[in-house]
Structures are given as C-alpha cells and as structure tokens.
Structure 1
Amino acid sequence: MLQAIGLTSTSRPAAPPVVDDLTFEARPGTVTALLGEPGSGKTTALRLMLELEPGRGVTYFRGRPLHRIAHPGREVGVLLGDVPGNPSRTVRNQLRMLCAAAGVPASRADTMLEVVGIAGLRDQRLGSLSLGMERRVALASALLADPCTLLLDEPAAGLSPRERGWLHALLRGHASLGGAVLFTTDDAKEAARSADRVVSIEAGRLVADQDAAEFARTRLRPRVAVRTPHAARLADVLGREARAAQRAVEVVEESGSRLSVYGSNCAEVGEAAFRHGVLVHQLADETGAAGAAVSPLPHARAEAAAGAGAGAGAGAVQGRAAVAPAAGPERSRPRHSRARRPDSAVRRVGGPLRPLRYELLRVFGTATPVLTAALVITASVLTTLVLARAGHTPQNRLLAAWPELLPLPPAALGAGLLGALAFGEEYRYPALAADRGTVPRRMGLLTTKLGVGAALALLLGAAAVTADAAALALVFDSGPLRTPAEWFSPAVSWAGLLIGCSWAGVLASGVFRSATAGLAAVLAVPVMVVPLVRRILEGPSAYPATGLAARLRGLTWGQWPPEVDRVLLGALRLMAQPVGTALVLSLTVLLCAYGFTGLRSRIRW
C-alpha cells in the first residue's frame, strides 16, 4: 500500500506551496488516478513521494519510507517525463544496464521488451523512437524489477486511443496481481474509465477521494452523443418536445453532423428521431467533465460499446499474463486476497559484482569510449610527430605527446573525459528509473567507478604510447627513440598521471553533477593548482625527504622485493613534481567534497 501523509512542498517567496498538506492512499490491487488541471501540483506530489523534491510530509511504501528501502527500484517503478537514457544507446543496452542497476538478470530486458510489444526495436537508438515507443520503453524500465508500486506521471499523454487502451490494460493487469498503481492525469474521462479510485486535487490541495463509479456519478456530466445528417432539424425537434414536456434538456451542436444532448437518454432521443423521421447514424451514452467543454471526438463508455469493452478486457487479460507469467494462481484469487501481494518472484542478482556489471554496461553501451580513444590516439600521434620533427624534446615527453605548452597530454585529457562521464552522464541521462535523477552513491558504486576509470585510463595511455612509438618508428625509422636506462619509474609516473586525471573527473562530476564540470576540474589541476603548488614549493628545503623509500623499508618486518622500491620511487617522483602534488591535493579535496555531497544520499545501493 502507498500512503502519502501531509505532503507539502517548500513554498516559494511570496507564493503558496505547489502542494499543500496532501494526504491520500493507493491501495494494492487497485488503479488510482491523481486528477488535476495542469499546474495543480500532480508532478510535484510524485516527486515529493520519491524524495526528489524538498518539502515536508512522508510517503510509506508498504509501511516504509523510500530512504529506508534497501533497493528502491525493486519496490517502486517510476515514469516521470521522457525516457531517461543517452539517445545513442540502444533500447536493449539501456534495459540491460537498468537490469544491472536493479539487480535482476540481463535476460529480464528481453522479457520486458516482449511484454511491452517492442521486441523488434531492441536494436533501435533511443533518440530515434516515437513518443508511443518511448512510453513503452519507459514502462519496460519501470517494470524491470517487478515492483509492487507503480508511480506514473501522465503516462498516456500524447498517445493514440489504441495505445491508451493498451497502456491502461497493462496497468490493470499489474493491479490485478496485487500491485498498487498511481498515475496522474488531467482528463476526468480517462480517470473515470481507467481507475478504480480517483483522487482529485486543485492548487495542491485534496478536493475529493472517491471510487470511480461515485466520481463518474458526481463529478462527470452524462450526455447522449448523436450523429445525424439532419442535426439542426433533430435539435429543433428535441427542443420543442422538451418544452412541451417541461423538461430541462440542453442540446449542443458540436459540428455539422454531431449533437450532444444533456438531460436525456438514448431511448428518448431515438424515439423522438423515429417519430419525426430523422435519420440517425450514431446514438451513444457518454460522460464528460462537468462544466467543461465537450470534446468533438466521441469517447463512448465501455458499457455502451460492447465490442470496445470486450477488446479492452482481452487486452487486460493479455497484460496480466505478460507482466507476471509465473503468477498464474494469483490471478484466480479474489480481490481481497490479491491485495496481499507476495514478494516478487523475479530472480535477484546481488553481490559486489552488481555495481561492476552496471558500470561496464553503462560505459560500453555507447560508442563514446571507442570514439574518445580514436581521437586521443590521433591527437597523440600528430603531436608526437610534430615534437620529433622540431627536436629538443625529452623521450619521455615525446612518447607521451606532452609538449611544454600543453597543460596535459591528450591521453590524460581523454582519461579525464571518460572519468567525468562516469557521474556526469548519470545526471544528464538519469539511468536509475526508481530514482530519476538521484544516483544512489555508496562506496561500492564509487569504488567501481574509480576502478573502471583507472582501467580505462591505463588502457588509453598504453594505446597512446604504443601508437606514438609505432609512428616514430614508421616515419623516422626509430631515430628519435633510444633504449631507456630506467623505464619503470617513468611508467609508474605516467600511470599515476592518467589515473589521477581519471579520478579527478569521476569525483568532480559526482560533486558538481556535470560532465563538463568534471572535465573542467581536470584542466584546473595544471592550469590553476600547479602554479599555486610551485609557488609554495619554491626555494630550498631545510629538511629534505631523501631516502624515504629506505626508511619505509625499515618499518616493515620483512624485506620486500626490489620492484617495490621502483614503484615507490616512481610514485614519490611523481608526487614530488608540482603536477603530482597538485593532483594529490585536488583528489583529496574532491574526495572530501564528494563525501559531504554524495554519500549523504538516503537512497543507496
């Protein structure tokens, strides 16, 4: 059961709150519509329930607030706004990534594509989908972990009548299995047709909380829809007969051949047309919003159109069978038994590898790493050839393609860019459907992003150096290259620079919630921090730190191998340089800032 108690948004200056003391509930086994005009606070109310909006009040999902649920994606399926995802990512890759985030098998993505009827679009890019197909992808994302509760914001907006019927049948099927469904709408007729209960709000306040039948009886205005080629004549006949019988009947001409008759019924209108010889093409009972303009398109109620009702019923049965194929016995239970919905039967995939699966699918779901590597290698090779042609460049800087004029070599910039996308892409294209913009960031996810970023940086750096050496050997016949007397320490320094730039991008994008800000933080290290460190380190030291590696060896019980000395010397050499000191300082500051801003998130892995 979903219980919203006292939801109140933070008030704006000189303006009342968008949502003010809103209290209602959505029961399991039912579909609840949150009805209100545009701007009435429906979306804000959903965001307050999901703790994405500052305010007061609490929402309980089966007795627990969202921040106390270990895996919110398995409890709540959410649809807010457009489909969250990089437009260049395919539909299947997007769902597989969300499967890893929710901790369910990757095969669940193909299952849900079959459920929502877009299995043939699995290889299509998200940016190429139509509105209706986007909504189906969003519903598949919301249903991946088989959540108990669905929160959907205007799910039928912009859809055709056929797609709306399919959507509401799917929601009805989810509710029939004991789930709670809450969707927002501004169409009173849609709420009456598709929901079991209608919660009406106005200006953020509760107006009514009614069963759908009671809502239709008290809040909707019944009418008779008539189509006839003699609309003016029939309107005159109905008006004269109403005046003669002293009955309150209102006849409204909607178009040249359509009439809406209020205060009468199909039998009376049909008998009057028969008596006066008026040809009638359509005669149906309808309901419309009380006091609102009547829609020019007929929306016959299910009980007035047996064929449409049968089609919707078949769709509902199909939706129930597709959403939970393993829960057949559950469908035969009475409504009060279905309300006690058991825990989901979907197999869970947990453990420490879950964040790793998610991050790998996020990174390699698009062509960004490949394009970045190709651009970096090309820029590195061209820079190396120019430096070799000019001469007077040390071999280490030559292989790294790092002239004195550039703040960082191309490989370090590429590593920083890939690191900045680790969190920056999460905020630009929210990947976790249950959180919709709030990325659950715990130490497991942070460690995974740092580890994957470091691995990508090392691979990128090795590819760049290899390509530079091959280009020099091809163009200049290995003239600029010499066998180095010491290669291990420069290699450690090179790896430290790449990993430091990648980690700076990861942490900065997590703190500032932007990939651009993450890349800017990487560039700020050599441009702003390095000059400051050089100014601090200028002048001789009264107490030099020479021999630190030997003293560290003396602190251990045993003797470590000589390779450890080389690693320590390489790391110390990097840290002794202004760039290394600036990187260490920047990473320390960013890690502390990340701890204050990110790890306080109440939604966690």
Structure 2
Amino acid sequence: MLQAIGLTSNRSRGQAPAVDDLTFDAEQGCVTALLGAPGSGKTEALRLMLELEPGRGITYFRGRPLHRVPRPACEVGVVLGDVPGHPARTVRGQLRMLCAAAGVPAVKADELLEAVGLAGLGDQRIGTLSLGMDRRLALACALLGDPHTLLLDDPAEGLAPREADWLHGMLRSHADRGGTVLFATSDPKEAARSAGRVVTIDGGRLIADQDGAAFSRTRLRPRVAVRSPQAARLAAIVSREARVARRSVEVVAEPVGNRLSVYGSSCAEVGDAAFRHGLPVHQLADEVGDVGPVGTVGARAEAEGSSTHTAGTAGPGAPAREVSAHTADAARRPLRPHVRGEVPPSIRRRPARGPLWPVRYELRRLFGVRTTTVIMAVVLTASVGLSVLLARGGGTPPVHVIAAWPSLLPLPPAALGAGLLGALSFGDEFRYPALAAGRGTVPRRFGLLLAKLAVSAGVALLLAVLVVLASAETLRIVYGGGSLHVPANAASLAVSWFGLTVGCAWAGLLAAGVFRVTAAGIAAVLAVPVVMVPLVERMPKASTARSMAGLPGRLRELAWFQWPGAVDRWLLAAMRVVAHPVGAALSLSLAALVCAFLFTSLRGRVRW
C-alpha cells in the first residue's frame, strides 16, 4: 500500500507550488491512476514520492518512507521516461549491470527479458530500440528487484494501442499478485479503461478520488463524433430536430477540423438527419467524451453553451455535484493522521543508492560497451607503431622504445588510454545515469569509489603489460632478438611504468568525478606533464639520497612483522619514482584530486 501525505513542492519565485498538500492512497492489489492535464503536477508528485525533489510531505511504502527502506529496488520499481542507459549497451548488458546494482542474480535478467517479450532482442543495442521496445525494457528494469510497488509516469504515452494494452495488462497482472501500481496519465479514457481507482488532480491539488466505475459515470460521457464540411448547418439541424422531438441532446462544435460532438444521440439519428437534408458526412463514430476536470466542468459547459448549439437540459453539472459528494465522503475517511493546514515534514532530495555489488557492477559497466575494447585496441596499435619507428632511428633510449614514448608526446599512448578509460568511468555515469531512474547524479559512495579505483587500476595494469609485450614481440620480429635486452634496474622501471599508467587512470577518474564530465578527466591527465611537471622542475633542488638510503630499514623497525627482503628493493624503487619530476607531479595531482573529491562529497552531504 502507498500513502502520500501532504505532498507540497517548493514554491518558485512568484508562482504557486506545482503540488499543494496532495494526500491520497494507492491500495494494494489495485491499479491506481494519477490523472491530470499536462502541467497539473503529476510528474512533480511522483518525484516527491521518490524523494527526487525537495519539498514537504511524506510517502509511506507499506508503512515506511523510501529513505528508510534498506533495499529500495526491492520495494519500489520506477519508470520515469526512457531507459537511462548508454545507447551502445545491449539490452541484456543493461539488465545484467542493474542486477549487480540491485544485488540480484544475473539470471534474473534473462527471466525478465522473457517476461516482457524481449527474449529475442537481448543483443540489441538500446539506441536502436523502438518506443514500444524501450518501454518494455524500462518495465523490465523496474521489475528487477521484484518490487511490491510500481510507479510509472505516462507509461503508455506515444505507444500504439496494442503496446499500450500489453503494458496495462502487465500492470494489472502485478496488482493481481498483490502488488501496488500507481501510474500517471493525462488521458481520462486510459485511466477509466486501465485503473481500478482514479485520483484526479488539477493545479497540484486533489480534485477527486474515485473508483473506476464512479469515474467513468461522472467524468466520461458517450458521444457521436461527426466530421462534415457543413458542420455548423448540421449542428443547427440536429439541435432543431431534438427540440421538436423534446429529446435531451447537446451538440458541441470543436474549434478545428469541422468536427461536432453530439451527446445524447446515436450514429443512426445523426446520419439520418444529415441524409434527409443532403449534407455530406466524412466521419460518424461512437466515442467516449471527456467532460473536463472536476471543479471546472460547470464553467466549461457555460463557455461551450455560449458558442455552440445546445438542446435540452442534460449537461455535466449533475456529474460534477456527484463527484464533489464522493470526494467529500473520501475526505471524511480516517485514513491517516493528517489534517489540512498542518505543516508536513520536509522532503530532502537524496542521491541514488550505490550498487550492492560494486565491483561486479563496475566490470559490467566498463566492458558492456565497445568503447573500452576500441580504446585498448587503438592504444596497442599506436604503441606498436611508435615502438617500431623509434627503434628504427636508433637514438631513442630502449626504455622509451618499449613504452612507445617519443619526446614529442607529453605521455605515452598507454598512459593516455588509461587516463581516458578512467575519465569515462565517471563521465559515462553522469551522461547515462544507470543507478536510479530520474536522479541524474552518481552517488558518492565509498564502496563505489573503491570499485572504480580497483577496476580502473586493473585495466591500466593490463594495458601496460599488453603494450610492453606487444612492443617487445614486434621489435623481436622486425629487428631480431638482439635489439632488446633487460636493463639492470628492471624493477624500478616496472614500478615507474605501472605507476604512470595507474596514476593517469586514477587522475582521469577522480577529475571526472569531481567535475562530472569526461573532458575534465582528460584535462587532468594532460595537465600532469604540461603543467605540473614544469612546476616541480622549478622547485629548489635538494639531495635526497642520504635521507632515503635507510628508510626501508627504519620502516622495518616500526612494523610488527618482518617482510621479505625483496620488499625493500620495491620500496626504494617506488621512492625513486616519486622523486622523479613526473612521479612527483602525478603524486601531487592525485593528492589534490582526492582532497577535492572528498570535499565535494562532504559538501553534498551537508547540503542535503
């Protein structure tokens, strides 16, 4: 069961709130429609329920507000617009990634693809899906955690009738299994056809709370839709004949298209009248007409009566009185301890929850698109080509030949590629937020950050090893085995090489996380050799060999266990790397980015 109590959005400057003290229930086992014209506050109300927008009020999902639900994906499924996924990601890849975020087995993805009719489209890219297939995928994403409540914003908008019927059939099936379904719509006929209860709002306020039968009786009226080039003359004839026969008939002229809406008559009667007077008719059909939102029906009827031909006394005034009485009865029901006028509690906008399985989520996010493999292939190709060209000249040091680092480039291709992959780790998250629908931000969770750092470091190390192996093997094939030899300081060089690639990956990742754009991560990587290295080189030089010589031994004395002697050599190699201008510049950049990331994270928590 869903209980929305006193939902009120923040006031814009000089404007009324989009949602004003909205209170209603959505019963368990029932499909509830939140009906309102465009701009009536439906979407804002849903976002207030999900704590996506600041305001006042509270929404209980089976007795608990959303921020007190430990696993929201297992309680509430949300469809707000299109699927917020990378267009190059496959349907199955998107669902498997969200399975890791929701903490459910990956096999759930295939089960839902079968349930929503996408079993044969698992390898289809999201960007190539039609609107109907996209809505099916969105519903599958909402059902991943097997939630009790479904919240959907205009789920059938733009869909063909067959797709809309299938979607509402799925919603009714979920409600029949004991779930709660609430969907927003602006079409009264859709609400009457698909919902067991209809909550009507206008201007952000509750207008009516009715069951489906009462809503259809009071809000919708049968009519005859007529299209004729002689619409005004036909309206006068039908009205005159109705007065003569003393029948209650209302004829309303539509503002465009030579259309008439005839209430209280039938297709046969209107067609016979047109035939007797020789008037052409281009359309003649039975329809269900909307009499307008409750509370404005009377004014609308008066306006229509002043500009149309009307016969009889039947009008929407009586239904309006019936709805008002029903709404008054609903308001007197003791459903919740809330009295109008009381100040409801404040709603704080909260970011999305982090993934429950962060490493698995990050791996599927990273390798779920071809961008990662394309970047790695380009880096390997460029590195091998540069290595062959540098070895041909003979004047480049062997270390730079293996790393494919000519003096013209600020960084080798492997470091640039690692930095780009790190920047995409956060950059794609902000462009295509996948952790929660409609939030548009990335949670600054410690577990997610550690997962991104670990995965990006692993990819950078893999890229560094592949570049060295590919370059060495290519040089052996092209120039022979005598062109390469293992240097004496191989350990120090390996630490430097791995530290450079991992450091660039982390710099790109942290900068993209701070500034929320991929370009900032790339700029941070390029700033290390272009800006930071010259600054470090201009610092006063001092000899550090004497102070560093005995550092491993002094650290050994402080440790509570004795590490192997090989660790001393690796420590010295790491300290020499940090003492190098590039290593020092990269270390300073990473320290600054870590501080900036922590500062923005803490500031965000204090703000909200």
RMSD in angstroms over aligned alpha carbons? Answer: 3.6
User: Is 1:261 matched with 2:283?
Assistant: no
The count of aligned residue pairs is 545
After superposition, the Cα gap between the structure-2 partners of 1:27 and 1:588, relative to the gap in structure 1 and judged at 3 Å, is farther
Q: Distance in 1 between matches of 2:235 and 2:561?
A: 104
1:41 CA displacement: 3.0
Moved more, 230-239 or 433-442: 230-239
Tell me what 1:288 maps to.
Answer: 290
Q: Give the aligned residue type for 1:398.
A: V
- Counterpart secondary structure, 1:64: coil
8 A Cα contact 2:234 2:274, kept in partner: no
Match of 1:375 in 2: 378
- Cα shift readout 1:206-258 (whole Å, capped 9, x = no counterpart): 33333333333333344245799999998676433311144442235779998
Bigger mean CA offset, 242-251 vs 362-371 = 242-251
The structural deviation recorded for 1:163 is 1.1
* 1:303-382 matched pairs, under 5 angstroms: 354-382=357-385
Cα distance in 2, alignment partners of residues 272 and 86 from structure 1: 58
Equivalent in the alignment of 2:318: none
Q: Superposition pairs for residues 402-441 of structure 1, below 5 Å?
A: 402-433=405-436, 436-441=439-444
SS in structure 2 at match of 1:4:
strand
| 3-state SS, counterpart of residue 117 of structure 2 | coil
Query: CA, structure 1 residues 352+560, in 2 after alignment: closer, same or farther (shift >3 Å)?
Result: farther
Counterparts in 2 of 1:288 and 1:108: CA distance versus 1, 3 Å: same
How do residues 53-452 of structure 1 correspond to structure 2 at under 5 angstroms?
Answer: 53-225=53-225, 238-252=238-252, 260-262=261-263, 264-266=264-266, 269=269, 284=286, 286-290=288-292, 291=300, 354-433=357-436, 436-452=439-455
Farther off after superposition, 425-434 or 204-213 = 204-213
- Comparing 84-93 with 12-21, which one deviates more in the overlay? 12-21
Deviation at 1:136, TM superposition (A): 0.8
The equivalent of 1:345 in structure 2 is: none
Question: Is residue 80–residue 438 contact of structure 2 (8 Å, CA) maintained in 1?
Answer: no
2:231–2:260 CA contact under 8 A, matched in 1: yes
**TM-score normalised by L of structure 1:** 0.80
1:511 corresponds to which of 492, 505, 514: 514
> What one-letter code is carried by the residue in structure 1 that aligns with 2:239?
G
Query: 1:293-315, CA deviations, whole angstroms, 9 ceiling, x for partnerless residues?
Result: 99xxxxxxxxxxxxxxxxxxxxx
1:434: how far off? 5.0
Given that 1:89 and 1:366 are in contact with CA atoms closer than 8 Å, whether structure 2 keeps it comes out as: yes
Cα distance, 1:182 vs structure 2: 1.7
Other-structure match for 1:465: 468
For the 8 Å contact 2:461–2:501, the answer to whether it is kept is yes
How far the C-alpha of 1:265 sits from its partner, in A, is 5.0
The amino acid across from 1:261 in the alignment is V
Give the Cα–Cα distance (whole angstroms) in 2 for the partners of residues 60 and 193 of structure 1.
Answer: 27
CA 1:352–1:119 in 2, change beyond 3 Å: closer, same or farther?
Answer: closer
Q: By how many angstroms is 1:139 displaced?
A: 0.8
In the TM superposition, what whole-angstrom CA distance separates every residue of 1:71-95 from its partner, at most 9, and x where no partner exists? 2111111111221211111111111
Instruction: Measure the CA separation in 1 of the matches of 2:106 and 2:486.
Output: 49
- Could you tell me whether the CA contact under 8 Å between 2:224 and 2:267 is conserved in 1? no
Structure 1 residue 68, shift from structure 2 partner = 2.4
In 2, distance between residues paired with 1:94 and 1:507?
A: 24
| Structure 1 residue 276: Cα displacement | 7.9
Could you tell me how far apart the structure 1 residues matched to 2:275 and 2:424 are? 75
| Residue 554 (1) aligns with residue 552 (2) | no
Check conservation: 2:100, 2:355, Cα contact below 8 A: no
**CA distance in 1 between partners of 2:363 and 2:39 (Å):** 40
SS of the residue aligned with 2:357? helix
| Corresponding residue to 1:501 among 493, 501, 504 | 504
Alignment partners' CA distance in 1, 2:476 and 2:267: 94
Asked whether the 8 Å contact 1:500–1:587 carries over to 2, the reply is yes
Please state how far the C-alpha of 1:57 moved relative to its aligned partner.
Answer: 3.3
Q: Secondary structure at the match of 2:123?
A: coil
Q: Is the 8 A contact 1:90 1:126 kept in 2?
A: yes
Seen in structure 2, the aligned counterparts of structure 1 residues 154 and 454 have a Cα distance that, compared at 3 Å, is same
Mapped to 1, the partners of 2:38 and 2:284 lie a distance apart of 33
**Counterpart amino acid of 1:102?**
A
Residue 557 of structure 1 deviates from its aligned partner by: 4.6
Letter in 1 for 2:571: L
In structure 2, what is the Cα distance between the partners aligned to 1:458 and 1:451? 11
Corresponding letter in the other structure for 2:135: R
Cα distance in 2 between the residues matched to 1:598 and 1:249: 66
* Mapped contact 2:102–2:355 kept (Cα < 8 A): no
2:592 to 589, 592, 596: 589
- Kindly state the Cα deviation for residue 599 of structure 1 after the two structures are TM-superposed: 7.2
* Offset, 1:451: 1.3
Report the Cα offset of residue 368 of structure 1. Answer: 1.8
Q: In 1, distance between residues paired with 2:426 and 2:511?
A: 9
1:195 CA drift (Å): 1.9
**In structure 2, how many angstroms separate the alpha carbons of the residues matched to 1:392 and 1:123?**
50
Q: Is the 8 A contact 2:222 2:286 kept in 1?
A: no
Cα shift readout 1:526-549 (whole Å, capped 9, x = no counterpart): 323333333345455798444322
In structure 2, what is the Cα distance between the partners aligned to 1:492 and 1:558?
Answer: 24
Question: Does the 8 A contact of 2:80 with 2:437 survive in 1?
Answer: no
- The offset of 1:459, in angstroms, is 0.6
Aligned to 1:30: 30
Q: Which residue of 1 aligns with 2:328?
A: none
**Separation in structure 1 between the aligned mates of residue 83 and residue 531 of structure 2, nearest angstrom:** 39
Instruction: Give the counterpart letter for 2:129 in structure 1.
Output: L
Instruction: Work out whether residues 454 and 502 of structure 1, in 8 Å CA contact, stay in contact via their aligned partners in 2.
Output: yes
Q: Tell whether the 8 Å contact from 2:84 to 2:437 is kept in structure 1 after alignment.
A: no
Letter of the aligned partner of 2:372 in structure 1? P
**Runs of 5+ consecutive residues of structure 1 not aligned to the other structure:** 295-350
Change over 3 Å in CA distance of 1:587–1:274 after alignment to 2: closer
After superposition, the Cα gap between the structure-2 partners of 1:257 and 1:36, relative to the gap in structure 1 and judged at 3 Å, is closer
* Aligned equivalents of 1:29, 1:544: Cα separation in 2: 74
Is this contact kept in 1: 2:98–2:434, CA < 8 A? yes
Change (3 A) 1:395 1:191: same
Change (3 A) 1:277 1:104: farther
Change (3 A) 1:50 1:535: farther
Pick which of 252-261 and 476-485 moved more.
252-261
| Change beyond 3 A, Cα 1:353–1:69 | closer
* Equivalent residue number for residue 314 of structure 2: none
- What CA distance in whole angstroms lies between the structure 2 residues aligned with 1:148 and 1:242? 53
Shift of 1:400: 1.3
Return 4-13 or 224-233, whichever deviates more. 224-233
Which 10-residue stretch deviates more, 231-240 or 399-408? Answer: 231-240
- Give yes or no for contact 2:419–2:525 (8 Å, CA) kept in 1: yes
Look up the equivalent residue of 2:502 and give its one-letter code. Answer: I
Q: Closer, same or farther in 2 for the Cα pair 1:236/1:62, shift >3 Å?
A: same
Q: Which amino acid aligns with 2:6?
A: G
Is the alpha carbon distance of 1:212 and 1:600 closer, same or farther for their aligned partners in structure 2, counting shifts above 3 Å?
farther
Q: Paired residue for 1:333? A: none
Kept in 2: contact 1:79–1:153 (CA 8 A): yes
| CA distance, structure 2, for counterparts of residue 211 and residue 89 of structure 1 | 42
Distance 1:484 1:540 in 2: 25
Instruction: Give the letter aligned to residue 54 of structure 1.
Output: P
Is contact 2:253–2:259 with CA below 8 Å preserved after alignment? Answer: yes
Cα offsets for 1:319-354 (capped at 9, x unmatched): xxxxxxxxxxxxxxxxxxxxxxxxxxxxxxxx9982
Amino acid at match of 2:392: R
Q: Deviations over 1:54-74 (max 9, x none)?
A: 334333322222222222111
Stretch moving more, 152-161 or 197-206: 197-206
